Amino acid sequence: MLYLKAANYDDIEKEWLFQRSIPVEENSFINEYHGISREDFGTALDTIIAQSRGEQLPEGYVPQTVYYLLDDDTIVGTFHFRHYLTEALAEGSGHIGYYIAPGYRGKGCGTQGLKLLLEEIRGAVAEEEIYLRVNRDNPASLRVMLRNGGYIHHEDEDKYYVRIPK
């Protein structure tokens, strides 16, 4: 059974192993914790949790909650929810970024994970729509967004900018 769980200290070992295995960058998903040591991940998790409360934010950043998608007891993906949009986020990556582990792609995990996240955040989003962005060369992720009620709002030569009505 798939479910979402916000980053937390109880699951630190699983979160660390998953986070360090994600590439530094894949399909515009940036992972600053690739290869991180266990010791350093403890400090990183402190920051991840603080930033979900709007604390310890770098200049220009907004609060962001990191959720892990679990299949029973195994982390299979991560979803990052940015609580509100700056002009740069509205014109760029939007409210949500996500990553599904390669072994779980094509099995509905992305679609179900996004559905669960949308249920979680709809009431917290001030805008009338939830903003997402996807690389044009990532049709699987675009399908995930479209299956969750999204539509292509606009596009450029590299990306689709998707909106999902609340």
> If pLDDT is split at 50, 70 and 90, which confidence band does 28 have?
confident
Asked whether residue 55 carries a pLDDT value surpassing 90, the answer given is: yes
**Averaged confidence pLDDT in the chain:** 96
Per-residue pLDDT, 27: 87
Per-residue pLDDT, 103: 96
Asked whether residue 20 carries a pLDDT value surpassing 90, the answer given is: yes
HEC string of the chain? Answer: CEEEEECCCCCHHHHHHHHHHCCCEECCEECCCCCCCHHHHHHHHHHHHHHHCCCCCCCCCCCEEEEEEEECCEEEEEEEEECCCCHHHHCCCCCEEEEECHHHCCCCHHHHHHHHHHHHHHHHCCCCEEEEEEECCCHHHHHHHHHCCCEEEEECCCEEEEEEEC
pLDDT in tens, 60-109: 999 999 999 999 999 999 999 999 999 999 999 999 999 999 999 999 99
Per-residue pLDDT, 73: 96
Q: In percent, how much of the chain has pLDDT > 90?
A: 97
Asked whether residue 14 carries a pLDDT value surpassing 90, the answer given is: yes
- For the segment 20-26, the average pLDDT, to the nearest whole number, is 92
